[in-house]
């Protein structure tokens, strides 16, 4: 019997990425405290939260593969959250201009029936161009990336902010590393294509 896939997320970005694989799935909203623990590294944080999101939904089901994911953006050792406001987005991008920023995306797949767990953390580095505040403000006003870690949408106009991108899967920047997900799904018996 084929496994039901459940994305433990209400993110429209993650949903759109998972749709690329052409597999039927449903979305479920995990209720997870996303605050970091004292002394927790970015990698440990996203791994813990990806597992927590998948596990919350897995405990509500008797079968299915539950996909959990979480992402943070790190600049000079500091985790940058979602900006929430236009001014915060401009400030974040001003702080990252001319610098390299690493995104860490935690990914976890839990089999609700067997409790089998596979997970990974996918890094992806963005090298920002040096831009003026007025150029950054024009970008933010045009795209309004207020719900995006790092204050940009690489799938949109965000590409104008970068000198280079470095990593194995640009989908990780949007919040769901599909190459890694395909690997984890294969460990659970789902072969693509």
CATH code of 89's domain: 3.90.950.10
Mean of pLDDT values over 95-113? 96
Residue 65 within a domain: yes
Q: How many CB atoms lie within 10 A of CB 184?
A: 19
The domain of 125 spans: 5-187
Residue range 35-45, pLDDT digits in tens: 999 999 999 99
Q: Is 70 a catalytic residue?
A: yes
Residue 193 belongs to a domain: no
Q: Give the per-residue pLDDT at 1.
A: 40
128 inside domain? yes
Query: Phi and psi at residue 60, in whole multiples of 5°?
Result: -90, -5
Rg (CA), the chain: 17
- At 2, the pLDDT band (50, 70, 90 cuts) reads low
44 lies in some domain: yes
Q: How many residues does the chain have?
A: 193
Q: Would residue 127 count as lying in a domain?
A: yes
Residue 162: CB atoms within 10 Å? 14
pTM (predicted TM-score) = 0.91
Q: Long-range contacts for 82-87 (Cβ within 8 Å, ≥24 apart)?
A: 82/146, 82/147, 82/148, 82/149, 83/145, 83/146, 83/148, 83/151, 84/146, 84/147, 85/146, 86/140, 86/141, 86/144, 86/146
Q: Of these residues, 70, 76, 87, 147, which one is catalytic? A: 70
- pLDDT number for residue 149: 86
Token couple for 175: 């919040």
Number of structural domains the chain divides into:
1
Q: Per the domain annotation, does 192 fall within a domain? A: no
Q: Across the chain, what does the average pLDDT equal?
A: 94
In a domain, 168, yes or no: yes
């Amino acid at each position: 019997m084929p496994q039901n896939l459940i994305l433990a997320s209400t993110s429209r970005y993650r949903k759109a990425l998972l749709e690329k694989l052409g597999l039927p799935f449903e979305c479920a909203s995990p209720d997870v405290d996303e605050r970091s623990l004292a002394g927790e590294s970015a990698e440990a944080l996203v791994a813990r939260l990806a597992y927590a999101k998948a596990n919350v939904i897995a405990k509500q089901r008797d079968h299915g593969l539950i996909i959990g994911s979480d992402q943070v953006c790190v600049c000079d050792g500091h985790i940058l959250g979602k900006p929430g406001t236009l001014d915060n987005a401009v400030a974040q991008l001003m702080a990252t201009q001319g610098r390299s920023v690493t995104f860490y995306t935690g990914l976890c797949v839990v089999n609700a029936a067997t409790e089998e767990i596979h997970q990974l953390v996918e890094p992806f580095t963005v090298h920002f161009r040096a831009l003026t505040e007025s150029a950054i403000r024009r970008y933010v006003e045009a795209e309004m990336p207020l719900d995006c870690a790092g204050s940009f949408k690489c799938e949109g106009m965000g590409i104008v902010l970068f000198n280079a991108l470095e990593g194995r899967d640009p989908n990780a920047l949007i919040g769901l590393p599909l190459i890694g997900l395909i690997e984890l799904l294969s460990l659970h018996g789902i072969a693509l294509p």
